[in-house]
Structure 1
């Protein structure tokens, strides 16, 4: 599958690639940014970053400062898009929190979304294969995952539903219990339907952690949450997740930080701690 390089940018001694490829999973062109750190190692660990509602790959690459620490510790970064774009589905551009920019990292089962809105399979299955073919140095057997808001939810879901695939896990202000909050109800209802809400639980971290078979080798789950985040109590519900994760043997480190909001100012303030966290589990420290 051909990948088009739209831009190559030198940054922190490494290379940031802005890419486009035609996706089999979404049946649309997809954008993705990849940062390769300066290293002589033949295989480079990878950290997958899933963005939040309305974002493109540019938001995180321009504002998160992740590339600086990826260069420092020696892991690559992959920044997928948040939804298909240009699927020409009626209504996909009507709301900022559903449709374009809001794929919610699920595989849609409801018409008209199920043909294109399959971001779970795209992110966790197709995209790694596409990038492995293009960048032979990327080690997709040594991968961590993180994300923000909707993307933090997607990161937790990927970790719990694909045991062993991701060596490390963290999240910034994730939607922790989407089945019971307005964002989740809107997106799960739209993409999965309301008839069988057990289908929602497949993408709800608070439901998934209760069933996950952890052991002593399970990684610590690091979460940062700003207490001045206007979405904190209404949409994110991190305490629900912590309460549900009491039997998760790796532990959950929920850091509630006073004064911080939901923005990339918040993310960039704690990206060093998350980078160290992933570097440890990816064998770089």
Structure 2
């Protein structure tokens, strides 16, 4: 992910932006531009690109998180808040089964104000008034004290971090002992022949779909490239473990098109 080059006796850190190498600050700025451009069509494009299957992946991921009444949830790079609303829904169901009335709360944290505005505009947020908050902040420098949350989730966002390891360490810092981390991300298929077919679809169809639906081919070209640059499942699992998480598991979805990495802060 990271290379280093020396210029004028100073070391400048370089990271990948799709198939380009850019400085960390440039990646942050360009990622903001990507998601500002696609914010209004983000949920629709996700449905079209995955034929709606991404919702099944997220549903299974939240079942593994197992939300409980009274818990605090932080959804980093949470965009339009889909996982946060799912967390609150499942926590309420668990409370009803257990006869508990303590209410869970959730925060959608995203570095991109346009994505947050798109999320806040959704009418299905009204039922969560007072329990769902929206914060514009960098996932690599979270504005919360140590041991603040019971669960942290990231859905299709960590590959856009300028330094994902810094983000993982922040997640570990803000989780309570026994807290859960769930990272759902596009990954690598487990059968090479299928990977080749998926790449053909990704590079030839998704950017054109982005142009047609969102009016932005370049942003979806970046998204496809960023998926290919993301580490394979086992390598990313090792990064999570090195960041202080225990019992890290990997669940592949749709043959590895996406993968859920799940770990515990113990």
TM-score (norm 1): 0.32
Structure with the largest fraction of helix: 2
TM-score between the two structures when normalised by the length of structure 2: 0.34
